[in-house]
Amino acid sequence: MSINLHPLVVHFPIALLLSYIALDWAGRLWKGKAFTEAAWYALLLGLAGTLVTLVTGLLAARAVPMDSPALATLNTHKIIGIATLVIFGIQAACYARNRGKYTPGKQALHTVIQLGGVALVLAVGYFGGELVYTYGIGVSPFIP
């Protein structure tokens, strides 16, 4: 019997990546170094959490039978999870390169990428919920 750690770790990157965006936007409104630094650390921790979540999710996915009706949803969930890691990885690279300071044009692109990241976080969560609540993946059957 293996232990599925995915449900235990999945919430940390969600909170951290969304906090990164909120802190980054706060740093734009209220000038100062504190919000920018907090955003940077939230992004780094969120990326680390996303990597852990991906690994635990891939390990948990091995328990899903190849003939499961949930397989298409599982594959979509995986692809969006990987895309989330990539998009926030790009954010981290840009953030490190520019130290959180952008020209107006780059700031607009940065914001669009962040909004894409939010969409990916919401989508991966939606498909994860579908796997659990529609298909019962990762849920032990109730035995009275």
Q: What is the pLDDT of residues 126-142, one digit of tens each?
A: 999 999 999 999 887 76
The two three-digit tokens of residue 90, written as one number: 């790009």
> For 67-76, what is each residue's pLDDT tens digit?
999 999 999 9
Look at residue 2 in the predicted model and tell me its pLDDT: 72
Give the pair of three-digit tokens for residue 35: 């919000």
User: pLDDT category, 3, cuts 50, 70, 90?
Assistant: confident
Task: For the chain, give the number of residues.
Answer: 144
**pTM, rounded to two decimals:** 0.90
Mean pLDDT of 26-40: 91
CA distances from 93 to 24, 27, 42 (A): 15, 18, 14
> Does pLDDT of 1 surpass 60?
no
Q: What element of type H or E holds 24?
A: helix 11-29
